[in-house]
Amino acid sequence: MLSRRNPQLNRHGELIHLLSIEGLPRAVLTQILDTAGTFLSVNDRDVKKVPLLRGKSVFNLFFENSTRTRTTFEIAAKRLSADVINLDIARSSTAKGESLLDTIANLSAMHADMFIVRHAESGAPYLIAQHVAPHVHVVNAGDGRHAHPTQGLLDMYTIRHYKRDFTQLTVAIVGDIVHSRVARSDIHALATLGVPEIRAVGPKTLVPGDLAAMGVRVCHDMREGIRDADVIIMLRLQNERMSGALLPSAGEFFKSFGLTPEKLALARPDAIVMHPGPINRGVEIDSAVADGSHSVILPQVTFGIAVRMAVMSTIAGNQA
């Protein structure tokens, strides 16, 4: 069957939407990371603004609640001088209420230039990208379990900042991988950037064997999973995992897969510990680790603004 062109690239291979890291060439990723580097200094200035998106309307369209991610996108857009409109649309049932595409059509009629979309269903931003006018850009701010590409990019920025070279690294991603869009985006980004060993660590209910097809080593033992790792990415464990018979309790999860100083000692002495936030202290990560010298969790947040500025300015500069 015919495979359609990657909908986030134009005919020249330039990024017009950011929907997933999967399928993006290394050069595109590297260019965004380089651009983010130039924006970091903007955030340190007295006047934290550049005029790249002046006069553009950026709609934060969040079908799923997230104050943090929405705020970082809002700050990034404002620092690019865009007008930002925030819309928290409680996910309405499709039977009643406005359909997703009707919502998009209405907002398009208000001359939106860019949609930042978060949705509980995997693939929803693809549907939107297929139905917007050619000059409108779409950024996926998290869709179901599928992708969270700006988080993936900011994680890459963080790793590059501390480790410089991707091609010698061992990266362990620990926790609820099956439900994690962050993990998927990280895995694609790490593989594209040449990381030779990516490990997915967790119990079999949260780390299915199918993940091996994405190019990762599946580990069901935490100690084996983080041994000699250069980078450890801890994932947030959602409470609802206990009700779905995936785990018996947060306490038992922490015992086996929580990151404690003792377990961290198995990783490389200069290992960094990352987390997309918000963290659950004592569930996936011990406070001593979260606040310790290996933790780069707060720098991730700072880099996140610059990376999102880089993504928005990059796609806004490319035509469909």
Partner 1 sequence: MKILIRQGRVIDPASGRDEAADVAIASGRIVAIGRAPDFDAERVIDARGLVVMPGLVDLAARLREPGQEHEGMLESELAAAAAGGVTSLVCPPDTDPVLDEPGLVEMLKFRARKLSRCRLFPLGALTRGLQGTTLTEMAELTEAGCVGFSQAEVPVRDTQVLLRALQYAATYGYTVWLRPQDAWLGGGVAASGAVATRLGLSGVPVQAETVALATLFELVRATRARVHLCRLSSAAGVAMLRAAKAEGLPVSADVSVNSLHLTDVDIGFFNPDMRLVPPLRQGADRDALRRALADGTIDALVSDHDPVADDMKQLPFGEAEPGATGLELLLSLALRWGADSALPLPATLARVTLHPVQVLGEAIGSLASSAGRLVEGGVADVCVFDPAAEWSVAPERLLSQGKHTPFSFASTGMALPGRVRATLVAGTIAYEAPADAAS
Q: Which stretch binds partner 1 (CB under 8 A): 4-12, 24-32, 74-82, 279-287?
A: 4-12
Q: Which residue has the tokens 């880089």?
A: 310
The answer to whether 161 and 304 are in contact (CB under 8 A) is no
Interface residue with partner 1 among 25, 48, 101, 319 (CB under 8 A) is 101
Closest contact distance (angstroms) between CB of 24 and partner 1 is: 13
Closest contact distance (angstroms) between CB of 275 and partner 1 is: 20
Q: Which of residues 235-294 bind partner 1 (CB under 8 A)?
A: none
Nearest Cα residue to 159 out of 201, 207, 193, 202:
193
Can you say how many angstroms the Cα of residue 270 is from the centroid of all Cα atoms in its chain?
A: 24
203 is an interface residue for partner 1 by CB under 8 A: no
Closest contact distance (angstroms) between CB of 212 and partner 1 is: 8
118 is an interface residue for partner 1 by CB under 8 A: no
Closest contact distance (angstroms) between CB of 310 and partner 1 is: 24
Q: Which stretch binds partner 1 (CB under 8 A): 43-51, 203-211, 272-280, 282-290?
A: 203-211
119 is an interface residue for partner 1 by CB under 8 A: yes
Contact letters (x/-) for partner 1, 136-165, by CB under 8 A?
-------xxxxx------------------
Q: Which stretch binds partner 1 (CB under 8 A): 38-46, 93-101, 277-285, 288-296?
A: 93-101
Q: Which residue has the tokens 């001593």?
A: 288
189 is an interface residue for partner 1 by CB under 8 A: no
Nearest Cα residue to 174 out of 99, 246, 103, 237:
237
Interface residue with partner 1 among 14, 83, 88, 121 (CB under 8 A) is 121
Cβ burial 77-91 (10 Å sphere, 16+ → b, else e): bbbbebebeeeeeee
59 is an interface residue for partner 1 by CB under 8 A: no
Q: Which of residues 7-26 bind partner 1 (CB under 8 A)?
A: 7, 22
Residue 147: beta bridge partners? 143
DSSP secondary structure letters along 102-150: HHHHHHHHTT-SEEEEEESSTTHHHHHHHHS-TT-EEEEEEETTTB-HH
86 is an interface residue for partner 1 by CB under 8 A: no
Interface residue with partner 1 among 126, 157, 257, 303 (CB under 8 A) is 126
- Given the complex with partner 1, which of 18 and 267 has the nearer CB atom? 18
Check residue 210 and report its DSSP letter. Answer: G
Structure tokens at 181: 């869009």
123 is an interface residue for partner 1 by CB under 8 A: yes
CA torsion, points 112, 307, 47, 86, in degrees to nearest 10? 30
Query: Rounded distance, CA 13 to CA 28, Å?
Result: 9
| HSE-up of residue 49 (Cα within 13 Å, Cβ side) | 9
Query: Rounded distance, CA 125 to CA 117, Å?
Result: 7
Q: Which stretch binds partner 1 (CB under 8 A): 37-45, 118-126, 230-238, 293-301?
A: 118-126
Query: Under the rule (CB under 8 A), what is the footprint of partner 1?
Result: 1-4, 6-7, 22, 94, 99-101, 119, 121-124, 126-127, 143-147, 178, 181, 184, 208, 210-211, 213-214
